[in-house]
Structure formats: C-alpha cells, structure tokens
Amino acid sequence: NAGVTQTPKFRVLKTGQSMTLLCAQDMNHEYMYWYRQDPGMGLRLIHYSVGEGTTAKGEVPDGYNVSRLKKQNFLLGLESAAPSQTSVYFCASSYNSIYEQYFGPGTRLTVT
Amino acid sequence: QQQVKQSPQSLIVQKGGISIINCAYENTAFDYFPWYQQFPGKGPALLIAIRPDVSEKKEGRFTISFNKSAKQFSLHIMDSQPGDSATYFCAALSGYALNFGKGTSLLVTP
C-alpha cells in the first residue's frame, strides 16, 4: 500500500515552460486535492476533485489546470510557468471532506 | 484572506513543558477542525480533530480545546518531547475544502 505518491520529487523550470505533476493514490479515495506550500503562508488549496471526472477551483487556481480522468490519479498542469509558482506542491486524498486527508511527500518546483 | 488565524508563528518549549497553539476563525459555517503535524521534508499528517459540538478532545498527550462562542480552538501538547518538534497547522472545513492556518513551528529543547 503506497498511499499517495507524487511525481516528480524535484523539478526546475524556466519561465514559460510547461509541466505536469502527477498524483496517484491507491486507497480508493473519492476526493483529491492539490495544495501549494510557501514559507509563512501555510497550505493553500489550488484545485480539488470530489470524484472521477470532476474538478473545482480552490483558493489559488490561477495559472494551474487539473484533470481527474481516472479515480486514482489527479494531474496538476502549469501551462506557462512563472517565478511566482516556485513552491512545494502537495497532493492529498480522502474518502470525503470530513475524513482525514492523506498527503503525498511533495514536489519541490523552482521556476527561474 | 486568511480564514483561520494561527498563533504563535514559532514556539520554543523545554522538554516536559506544555506547548499551546491557538487558532481563531470567523466563518460560523466551519464544522470540522483538524490539526495536522508536518516534519521537515514530509507531507502533513493528521494529528487530532474535533467537531464543534464537543468542547474538548484528548488523544494521549495531545488535546484540542474548542470554544464555539469565541470561535477559537487550541492545541495543547502535554509533556512535550524533542520528537514533537515539527510544524503544526490548524484547519477548518467549509464545504469540500479545508482552510489551513499559516502554521506554527515548534521546537522542543532537551
């Protein structure tokens, strides 16, 4: 049981480049989330999904897109990376909103 | 706009002491209040959680105190240990999403 895994662990991008972060969970959870964590800012929700084929915007969605084509996977895309998107990105999943969210190990992204 | 305000930003406690972290909120629609613990280089993990119909919840050395009328809740860590050194986040649930506080960095000195 791997729990929540994230790929890649580290990435450096140049401004304007695109990339996709992959999150996978093997717990059959309905809900999945993408957060970004910046020093002194806590965890801020980017997008979330309440089931396969659904997505919704969180607190800071601008500059990001997501897809949930399969229940176990939640993809976060950056179409044109900006230095302001330098952050640590965490994926999480849960059975539903009031249950424990299980977090992945994070992806450290640097945009130069 | 930060919906959950957390204090202090950092805290240093001696081994065996009590660590206290406070959170306040405005949105009365919040109906679930978890605390997450994060060690360096790791993702956050659920520590303890409370619903607003309960004033206190204790799990081992960790206790949540909840004051619904004041819209405040706090985490107490009794007999703090160096292994408790981590960042702690309070959160509040509204609808589908958790709103996190900015975090408290706790250092427990030997």
Task: List chain B residues with CB under 8 Å of A103.
Answer: 43-45
Q: CA–CA separation, B22 vs B94, rounded Å?
A: 19
The predicted structure's pLDDT at residue B6: 97
Mean pLDDT of B84-103: 93
User: Which chain A positions have a beta carbon within 8 Å of B42's beta carbon?
Assistant: 105-106
CB contact under 8 Å between B46 and A106, yes or no, is no
Residues of B with a Cβ under 8 Å from any A Cβ are: 2, 6, 9, 31-32, 34, 41-46, 49, 89, 93, 95-103
Question: Min CA distance, A81 vs chain B (Å)?
Answer: 23
Mean of all residue pLDDT scores within chain A = 95
* A101 contacts B46? CB cut-off 8 A: yes
Rounded Cα distance between B32 and B45, Å, is 16
Which candidate in A57, A87, A97 is best for mutational testing of the B interface (most B CBs within 10 A)? A97
Give contacts of A44 with chain B, Cβ < 8 Å: 100
pLDDT score, position B17:
98
Query: Are A59 and B93 in contact (CB < 8 Å)?
Result: no
Exposure on the CB side of residue B38, measured as CA atoms within 13 A = 25
Asked if A3 is an interface residue toward chain B (Cβ–Cβ < 8 A), one would say no
pLDDT of B36 > 80? The answer is: yes
H-state helical runs in chain A: none
User: What pLDDT is recorded for position A96?
Assistant: 82
Give the one of A42, A58, A106 whose C-beta lies nearest to B97's C-beta: A58
Contact: B42, A105; criterion CB under 8 Å: yes
- pLDDT bracket for residue A46 (50, 70, 90): very high
Contacts of B86 in chain A (CB under 8 A): none
- φ, ψ (nearest 5 deg) of residue B11: -150, 135
Tokens of B27: 């949105």
Residue range B44-93, pLDDT digits in tens: 999 999 998 999 999 999 999 999 999 999 999 999 999 999 999 999 99
Task: Give the C-alpha separation, A85 to A88, whole Å.
Answer: 9
